[in-house]
Amino acid sequence: MIIVRHLLAILLLPFLAVVVVPYWLLTSWADIDTRWGNISPLECLPRTLGVGLFVCGLVLFSWCVGLFAQVGHGTLAPWDPTRKLVAVGPYRYVRNPMIGGVFAVLLGLALIWGSWVVGVWVLLFGLVNHTYFIFSEEPGLERRFGHSFLTYKANVPRWIPRSKPWEG
Write out pLDDT tens, residues 124-149.
Answer: 999 999 999 999 999 999 999 999 99
Domain assignment of residue 56, given as a range: 2-155
- Residue 37 contacts by C-beta under 8 Å, 6 or more apart in sequence? 43
Question: Is 98 within the bounds of a domain?
Answer: yes
Instruction: Give the predicted TM-score (pTM) of the model.
Output: 0.93
Question: Is 8 within the bounds of a domain?
Answer: yes
Question: Is 163 within the bounds of a domain?
Answer: no
Question: Is 168 within the bounds of a domain?
Answer: no
Write out pLDDT tens, residues 48-107.
Answer: 999 999 999 999 999 999 999 999 999 899 888 999 999 999 999 999 999 999 999 999
Question: Is 118 within the bounds of a domain?
Answer: yes
> What is the phi/psi pair of residue 14, to 5°?
-65, -35
Q: How far, in Å, CA of 30 to CA of 23, rounded?
A: 10
Number of domains in the chain: 1
Say which CATH number the domain at 68 has: 1.20.120.1630
Q: Are 103 and 22 in contact (CB under 8 A)?
A: no
